[in-house]
Amino acid sequence: MKNRVKNIKELTKEIKKISLSLGKINIMEICGTHTMAIGKYGLRQLLPENINLISGPGCPVCVTPTADIDSVIDLVLNNNIILYSFGDLLKVPGSKMSLIEAKSINPKIKICYSPLDALDFAINNPSKKIVFVAIGFETTAPLTASIIKKVFDLKLKNLFIYNTHKLVPPAILFLLNSNKKIKVDAFLCPGHVCAVIGSKPFEFISQNFKKPAVISGFGAEDILSSILMILLQLKENKPKTEIQYKTVVKEHGNLVALDFINDVFRPKNSNWRGIGEIPDSGLEIQEKYSYYDAKKVFNIIEKPVEEPKNCQCGNILQGIIKPFQCKLFGKDCIPESPVGPCMVSSEGTCAAYFKYEKYSKSYIS
Partner 1 sequence: MNKKDNTNKLLKKDKKILLSHGDGGLKTSELINDLIIKYLGNDILNKLEDSSVINIEGKKIAYTTDSFTVKPLFFRGGDIGKLSVCGTINDLVCSGAIPIALSLGLIIEEGFEIESLEKIIKSISKTSKNVNVPIITGDTKVVEKNSIDKLFINTSGIGIVDDNIEITPRKIKPKDKVIINGTIAEHGIAVLTSRDEFNFKTNIKSDCAPLLSLVNNILSVSKNIHAIRDATRGGIASVLNEFADIAKIKIEINEENIPIRKQTLAVCEFLGLDPLYIANEGKILIFVSPEDSEKVLESMKSHKYGKKSEIIGEVKEHSERGIVILNTKIGTKRIIDSFYSEQFPRIC
Residues contributing to the site for partner 1 (CB under 8 A): 1, 4-5, 8-9, 39-43, 45-46, 87, 91, 100-101, 103-105, 110, 112-114, 116-117, 120, 220, 334-337, 346, 351, 354-360, 363-364
Q: How far is the CB of 284 from partner 1 (least distance, A)?
A: 28
CB of 141 to partner 1, least distance (A): 19
Considering beta carbons, is residue 123 or 334 the nearer one to partner 1?
Answer: 334
Query: CA-CA distance, 257 to 269, in Å (whole number)?
Result: 22
* CB atoms near residue 180 (< 10 Å): 15
* Of 300, 321, 299, the residue nearest 310 (C-alpha): 321
Q: Residue 253: which of 307, 191, 204 has the closest Cα?
A: 191
> HEC profile for 256-286?
HHHHHHHHHEEEEEEEECCCEEEEEEEEEEC
In the bound state with partner 1, the residue whose beta carbon lies nearer, of 117 and 263, is 117
Amino acid in the structure at residue 230:
I
Cα dist. 36→57, 113, 182, 346, 356 in Å? Answer: 13, 19, 21, 8, 8
Q: State the nearest-atom distance from the C-beta of 20 to partner 1, in Å.
A: 21
Q: Measure Cα distances from 322 to 31, 273, 317, 326, 342 in Å.
A: 15, 17, 9, 7, 11
Select 120 or 251, whichever has its Cβ closest to partner 1.
120
Q: How far is the CB of 231 from partner 1 (least distance, A)?
A: 19
104/127 with CB nearer partner 1: 104
Q: How many C-beta neighbours within 10 Å does residue 305 have?
A: 16
Beta carbon nearer to partner 1, 42 or 276: 42
Minimum CB–partner distance for residue 224 and partner 1 (Å): 9
Backbone angles phi, psi at 272, to 5 degrees: -110, 130
Give the rounded distance of the alpha carbon of 72 from its chain centre.
19
Least spacing, CB of residue 143 vs partner 1, in Å: 13
Output 181 or 331, the one with its CB closest to partner 1: 331
Q: At how many degrees (to 10) do helices 141-154 and 115-124 cross?
A: 10
- Cβ proximity to partner 1: between 92 and 283 the closer is 92
Query: In whole angstroms, how close is the CB of 174 to partner 1 at the nearest point?
Result: 28
